[in-house]
Structure 1
Amino acid sequence: MKNSYKVAVIGAGVVGCSVAYHLAKLGINDVVVFDKSYISSGSTGRCAGGIRQQWSSPHNVLLAMRSVKLFEKLESETGMDVEYKQGGYLILSYSEEEAEQFEKNVEMQRELGLDVEILSVKKVKERYPYIDLSGVVLATFCQTDGHANPHLVNFAYAKSARKLGVEIFTHTEVWGIEVKDYEFVLHTTKGKVTAQIVVNAAGPHSREIASMVGVDLPTESYRHQIMVTEPVKNFFDPMAISFSGNFYMRQTKHGQFIMGQGDPNEKPGLNYNVTFEFVEEMCKKMTRIFPFLRNVRIVRHWSGHYNMSPDAQPIIGESTTVKNFYYAVGFSGHGFMLAPAVGEAIAELIAYGKTLHVDLSELNLDRFEKTVVRERNVV
């Protein structure tokens, strides 16, 4: 480990490694990444791997659309098969009010250039006869949505960043940061280093890292549980999801079904325990909606964290009070799918002082001083 770097990234999840990779692509390879555990150990490695462009917020739509462009060329660019598949996202509505909101969302999404459909219950039944559509009002579908293996995406960025000169130190915790006149002093469990620029990509620990430099990030982390079944023959292409139904499910390349739901009673804080109640609720719900799961066995059950922002949209940009302190946090459960575009955008901000592909101006911390609109499309 050197004594000084141009950029220090805190967090070796998919966002942090994407930032490092895109910086190196732009010629800034004097970069170090620190993680208190191992690569993909946090929220990235615990997520379902969905990649969705259907949002109620235009900013999320545009970020996701740019991410899809980057996901489409990730294998050719990094040389790694990340199990990326554009099997689409099927979003089911179980209420008239939500259905009306979906229609407004689709109108906005189409205006932004997204090819998305509104499907009647009859049309959904024709395409997916093995889903029980009791109570469904309508659905939306976008074929270019999809999923990938989050571990492989994370390692693709990490491996490629290292090839370009980036240093990544795992099992290295940043426990303190001093702000000097023109640099930061990072105190780590492997020694002290200085950096001209710091990027906070610490996921569930984002608020703690920001507080070290006197920045108050309004993020809180909530446990979300998830489970996976034994493998069966592949036949289920899309990610099926419902916000009012509170579930998501997809089939992996190797045949397993990954599924999860949110808990409205979950309290903020870091909690990696799992509960039998979650398994019981999921089994009842998912075997009713997807009857083909009734004889499929569960093989694993784990938890991760949504690092939530007040409006369920990410907080991305440079601090207005601490120069050269950047953050890409508060993804509210969707950091994996937005990571390619976010890493590119943060790298552009650092290299050029502006973004070239997506506008982040409405996603910085100062937006909370104004009236904000909450992202509705969150499980």
Structure 2
Amino acid sequence: MKTRFDAIIIGGGILGVSTAYELAKAGLKDVCVIERHYLASGSTGRCGGGFRQQWSTEANTRLAMASVKRLEGIEEELGYQTEFFQGGYLILAHSDEDVEQFNKNVAMQQRLGLGVKTVTPDEAREIVPFLDQTKIKMATWCPTDGHISPFLLTQAYANAARRLGVEIHLWTTVTGLMKKSNTFFVMTDKGPYECQKLFNCAGSFARSIGEMLNVEIPVDPYRHEILVTEPVERLWNPMVISFGVGLYSRQEKNGGVVMGMGDPNEPVGTYVGSSMHFMYEMSRRFTTLFPKLSGLRIVRQWAGLYEMTADAQPILGPVDEVENFYQANGFSGHGLMLAPAVSQLLAELVTTGKTSMPIDDLHVRRFRGARTFHREKSVV
């Protein structure tokens, strides 16, 4: 088994495999992904599958817009069906504070060239039938947002990466890291590896990977739960988000209604079991907005992890402490929708020394000694 590579990527989720593909595409020949379980076994495979460009910070908006542009041609590029569908995102405002923030968001998004607009409660009801429009003051609507299968997109990138010579080593756990001179030594339960460039795409475990090289990566995992109902006739196409009520929901291709939420009282940790509290609370929140759908029957529930940073924005690029140790983590629940752009930018940075979009503001040093942050507000 080959164990010496130009680059090793820790993590076989969407960030790991897309970064591997982009590095190989950019000319880096010896690339390896190390994953302790199977592809998309972490947060990627447990997410709701949505992608959106409606954010409160310019950094997330720019990354998301670039990602959607990539996704629009990704099936042709990678030669694999991904269930990519631009059904839109409808984001609901319930308070005067929401309205003020959403108007600021839309103004910024439109300035960046995004096709987004505000809509009235009645217009929102036309976009999403069954919505109780009396519960909202307005909404924002972007028809080019949508959803995609996280499993199929991950597999598409993995297949394309392998065609370019990337090796993907599954069921391999990283147990230690060390750097001597210009070489990283990656210790695993299958034996040691060596590389010149190392990428931390370990998601909710990014902090522990950083600690192996005495680098603080301030990412903390929090459980977020999700469920799906029985398949029913077509109700609506968009993803619906309410930051005020605290939920997101969309209908799958087969008719099941997916919905999820986060608990503000959830402790830091990697536990991904399901809870009865979630099922009851999720049902209450959903029927607040969709009272006529109270008869939907739940068939399955599960949980995943949001890898949160203090400002709910990702950590990208190198670190000051260890040369050639690159980060792509801390996506705060939105790695799937930002991965197509982020992986391309990382490949640009490594192979050319510059990026087509500025990412300096997302360097981990922004957290070193800082007490206040420009936080992303559009997180559910």
TM-score category, normalised to shorter length: over 0.9
Q: Which amino acid aligns with 2:232?
A: V
Query: Which residue number corresponds to residue 343 of structure 1?
Result: 343
Aligned 8 A contact 2:313 2:375 in 1: yes
Name the CA distance, whole Å, in 2 between partners of 1:196 and 1:301: 42
Alignment-mate amino acid for residue 359 of structure 1: P
User: What's the offset of the Cα at 1:145?
Assistant: 0.5
Indicate the larger mover: 243-252 or 232-241.
Answer: 232-241
The alpha-carbon deviation at position 289 of structure 1 amounts to 1.5
Distance (whole Å) between structure 1 residues aligned to residue 8 and residue 243 of structure 2: 37
Whole-angstrom CA distance in 2 between matches of 1:286 and 1:244: 12
* Structure 2 residue matching 1:83: 3-state secondary structure: coil
Which amino acid in 2 is paired with 1:361? Answer: D
State the 1:367 CA deviation: 1.6
1:330 aligns with 2:350: no
User: Is the 2:30–2:166 Cα contact (8 Å) retained in structure 1?
Assistant: yes
Summarize deviations over 1:167-196 as a string: whole Å, max 9, x none.
001110011011111110000111111000
Q: Tell whether the 8 Å contact from 2:311 to 2:373 is kept in structure 1 after alignment.
A: yes
Deviates more, 1:35-44 or 1:294-303: 294-303
Paired residue secondary structure (2:135): coil
Q: Gaps spanning 5+ residues in structure 1: where?
A: none
Matched, 1:361 2:375: no
5+ residue gaps in structure 2? none
209-218 or 362-371, which moves further after superposition? 362-371
The residue that corresponds to 1:32 in the other structure is: 32
Q: Is the 8 A contact 1:222 1:305 kept in 2?
A: yes
Once residues 236 and 17 of structure 1 are traced to their aligned partners in structure 2, the CA distance between those partners, rounded to angstroms, is: 32
| More deviation, 285-294/267-276 | 285-294
Shift in Å, 1:292? 4.5
Give the distance between the partners of 1:231 and 1:313, measured in 2 at CA: 34
Deviation digits for residues 63-118 of structure 1 (CA, Å, limit 9, x no counterpart)? 00000011101110111111011100000011111110000110011111111010
**Cα contact 1:93–1:245 (8 A) shared by 2:** no
* RMSD (Å), alpha carbons: 1.1
Secondary structure of 2:29's partner?
coil
Alignment of 1:1-379 (within 5 A): 1-356=1-356, 358-369=357-368, 371-379=372-380
SS of 2:133 mapped into structure 1: coil
CA-to-aligned-CA distance 1:239-262 (integer Å, 9 cap, x gap): 000111100001112211111011
Map Cα deviations across residues 280-334 of structure 1 (whole Å, 9 max, x no partner).
0111221232235323221111110000001000011101110000010110000
- The amino acid that maps onto 1:314 is P
- State how far apart, in whole Å, the 2-side matches of 1:281 and 1:300 are: 15
CA distance in 2, matches of 1:125, 1:2: 57
Counterpart code for 1:125: R
TM-score using structure 1 length:
0.98
Kept in 2, the 8 Å contact 1:174–1:186? The answer is yes
Contact 2:127 2:236 in 1 (8 A): no
Superposition TM-score, scaled by structure 2 size? 0.97
Cα distance in 1, alignment partners of residues 351 and 28 from structure 2: 8
Equivalent AA in structure 2 for residue 317 of structure 1: G
Write the deviation string for residues 216-251 of structure 1: whole angstroms up to 9, x where unpaired. Answer: 011100000000112122341100001111000011
Task: Give the share of equivalent positions with the same residue, in percent.
Answer: 48
Distance 1:292 1:151, change over 3 A: farther
Which letter does structure 1 place at the counterpart of 2:377?
R
What SS does the aligned partner of 1:77 have?
Answer: helix
SS in 1 for 2:125: helix
Letter in structure 2 aligned against 1:305: L
Counterpart contact for 2:129–2:236, Cα < 8 Å: no
Distance, in Å, in 2 between the alignment partners of 1:125 and 1:169 is 48
Aligned counterparts of 1:164 and 1:257: Cα–Cα separation in 2? 37
CA distance in 2, matches of 1:127, 1:286: 17
Alignment partner of 1:237: what SS?
coil
Deviations 1:30-68 (A, max 9, x none): 100001111000000000011010000000000000000
Secondary structure of 2:37's counterpart equals coil
Distance in 2 of aligned mates of 1:81 and 1:214: 41
- The aligned amino acid for 1:377 is S
| Counterpart residue type for residue 365 of structure 2 | D
Work out whether residues 317 and 328 of structure 1, in 8 Å CA contact, stay in contact via their aligned partners in 2.
yes
Check the 8 A contact 1:10/1:16 in 2, yes or no: yes
Distance 1:10 1:205 in 2: 10
Task: Give the conservation status (yes or no) of the 8 Å contact 1:247–1:260.
Answer: yes
Aligned residue type for 2:101: Q
